Amino acid sequence: MLARSRRLTAALAASAAAGGFITWGVAGAGPASAAAGCRVDYKVTNQWQGGFGADVTVTNLGDAISGWALTWTYTAGQSVAQAWNAAVTQSGTTVTAKNVDYNANLATGGTANFGFNGAWNNSTNPVPAAFALNGVACTGAPATGSPAPSRSTGSSPSASASPSRSTGPSPSQSASYPPPPSSYPAPMPVAGDTGVHDPTIVKRPEGGYIIAYTGNNIALKTSTDRVTWRNAGAAFPSGASWTLPYTGNSPSLWAPDISYRNGRYVMYYAASTFGSNHSAIFLATSPTGAAGSWTNQGLVIESRTADNFNAIDPNLYVDDQGRWWLSFGSFWSGIKLVQLDPATGKRSDSTIRAIAGRNGGAIEAPFVSKHGAYYYQYVSFDLCCKGASSTYRVMVGRSTSPTGPFLDRSGKDMNSGGGTEILAGRGSIHGPGHEAVLADTDGDYLVYHYYADSGASYLGINHIGYDGGGWPYLY
């Protein structure tokens, strides 16, 4: 877009399952097409109010089989929502998980693993009552397992109207991810006050989350569990008079970037008007992140109509050496990077680096995060802010240096229009973009906005997985 005026909920209708870790085992006779014995390891990997994620491993203790179906029964109203590595269906209390193409064959002693997200009723969440593999019961005493996880963490993929199949719970601490899905996943379910535009997120050191987003005087939301959100006022409830020369006297401030650094909250945010690159990025700090607690620390960088860049969409990242960098930009000559002084949060020199561009085309909303050996630069291509007609999509490239060059999967430099797509509109999810990455204790998450058929913008969250080559994907 050309500098902008930024602005399903899906909650699982049923309640969700899970409860710790349990192993059922052993042998029995059965038909030729069935396993002669089996063991099932059922582990809850994540649990939160109304939902949970589970990991299941089935071991064939009998003759080799080609094609399997594992069944179990829930006893407390739980339901399965979405799954990966197996085709899972539910009829009443009975759940059936069938193999997919790549894990159909189970040798003697062989295992198949799959996972799913589900819903439970928040009062009890027992493990399934019985398992059977190809109709043969997997019986035996439960083995000692891990305790049930805290209900304060996690969330699950959305049951929205999108036709895409969502996959995966939060990755385990061992960073084992489900395979990349065949289509883009739906957003994970969120609830409460979920209308946002250009969201950025930070985890509080004491627990819980803050989202800051485009709105009058920077709008705020909070959540205790990353699922249910509530409105939390504005960063500057008395107004931000210092921004008015850039906004045409509008109170709307754009695309904040919020983080927690050195015992305080740090926020960079933009002031501009549609179609103009007379823009500015300011810095504010807060001891608590709450509405009204923010103090303006002044101008960081501005762009004028004579400049070839646009000073909006800021993103702060800190490299492995502790150096601070601010990426920013929209249209014009693309995404820029300046170095900051960590002591002040302001520029440390006059150098402006180019790190992504489309020769004047639609690119904006940079976000750089580190995972493993790479710095990943996420950007939004194409057009925002057109409601259901928006064409935003999320692209990524990576570099071993915080200053680039950032290359896409094919090796194309993002300064030459490169970028590997990891999310785009589909079904009733329109124009997903203006992304941020949350590195949480249970894995990385992409946080973004998208438009519903009504044209309203909502919060989207998905897990980030990394394939064998280290490239991110959503599930």
Average the pLDDT over 434-463 and give the result: 96
Q: Residue 83: pLDDT band by 50, 70, 90 thresholds?
A: confident
- Whole-number pLDDT of residue 469: 92
d(CA 440, CA 49): 18
Which pTM does this prediction carry?
A: 0.67
Is the pLDDT higher at 162 or at 80?
A: 80
Q: Residue 10: pLDDT band by 50, 70, 90 thresholds?
A: very low
Q: pLDDT digits over 238-252, tens only? A: 999 999 999 999 999
pLDDT at 105 over 80: yes
- Whole-number pLDDT of residue 115: 81
Average the pLDDT over 359-381 and give the result: 96
d(CA 393, CA 397): 14
Q: pLDDT digits over 174-213, tens only? A: 346 888 999 999 999 999 999 999 999 999 999 999 999 9
Q: Residue 121: pLDDT band by 50, 70, 90 thresholds?
A: confident
Cβ contacts of 115 within 8 Å, gap of 6 or more: 45, 53, 54, 55, 56, 83, 84, 85, 168, 169, 178
Q: Which candidate in 364, 382, 408, 444 is catalytic?
A: 364
- Whole-number pLDDT of residue 15: 30
Q: pLDDT digits over 270-296, tens only? A: 999 999 999 999 999 999 999 999 999
pLDDT at 81 over 80: no
Question: Any catalytic annotation for residue 206?
Answer: no
Q: Which candidate in 41, 55, 193, 198 is catalytic?
A: 198
For residue 33 the two structure tokens come to 């097409």
Question: Any catalytic annotation for residue 364?
Answer: yes
- Whole-number pLDDT of residue 122: 64
pLDDT at 73 over 80: yes
Asked which of 11-20, 44-53, 120-129 is least confident by mean pLDDT, the reply is: 11-20
Q: pLDDT digits over 135-156, tens only? A: 889 874 332 223 333 323 333 3
Q: pLDDT digits over 203-219, tens only? A: 999 999 999 999 999 99
